[in-house]
Amino acid sequence: MSTEIKILKQVLSNYSKPMTLNYPSAVSPDRKYSQIPAGLRGIPERDNDKCIGCRACYFVCSGRATSIYDSDAKRKVEIFLFRCTFCAHCQEACPEEAIKMTDKFEIAVAKREDPSARVVTELDLLKCKICGTPYASKKFVDRAYERLMEKIDQKVKETVSSDFKKVDGYCPDCRRANGVGFDTHTKKHVWLEGA
């Protein structure tokens, strides 16, 4: 046998083995996602208990995959996976760490309306006591109060807490319009000290 034929056989023998991985598993059938590289940003998941409906994910979504729908009593925060670019900006922006990028990547469904093509969270909305306008989720207001009390100076903590409770239940417009009646002006502490 000539040398050229031996070399050709050796070269072709290297190409007779499969060059691709079996789908979905390259190692064993019980390890479905065995070929996932480390650090893969897959389908986002939202922890419904942590989500406060603050809309941070909506404002940073580069693919316009996140939508916010407010009805009379509910806020629906939705990620449409077919539009998602898996950039993880929503995960970075979430103040409550409610969004996490997973290593799941399969999102094929028969119809766009399929519920598995969306990540949906529903929250109860508070209505303004004066005008009746829904303005924020209860979880958002409660978390804002907790964060405020964590950071506030001890000298004014009691006053700020009572001021917060005076305006709790009112939308921003009604708070602004009735601020004098609520007696919650931020400079009132300076005025009182100067008197």
Q: Give the pLDDT band of residue 29 (cuts 50, 70, 90).
A: low
Q: Where are the domains of the chain?
A: 44-187
> Given a cut of 90, is residue 178 above it in pLDDT?
no
What average pLDDT does the chain have? 83
CA separation for the pair 43, 26 (Å, rounded): 21
User: Can you tell me which residue has the tokens 């419904």?
Assistant: 48
Q: 124: which strand partners?
A: 74
Q: What is the pTM of this model?
A: 0.71
- CB distance 168 to 148 below 8 Å: no
> Given a cut of 90, is residue 124 above it in pLDDT?
yes
Tell me what percent of the chain is helix, strand and coil, each rounded to the nearest 5: 35, 15, 50
> Given a cut of 60, is residue 189 above it in pLDDT?
no
88 or 23: which leads in pLDDT: 88
What pLDDT sits at residue 34?
A: 59
Kindly state the average pLDDT of the residues 35-63. 89
As given in the structure block, the two tokens for residue 139 are: 């979880």
The most confident of the ranges 142-146, 147-151, 159-163, 176-180 is: 142-146
Q: Give the pLDDT band of residue 182 (cuts 50, 70, 90).
A: confident
Q: What is the pLDDT of residues 4-28, one digit of tens each?
A: 888 888 877 777 666 666 665 555 5
What pLDDT sits at residue 195?
A: 44
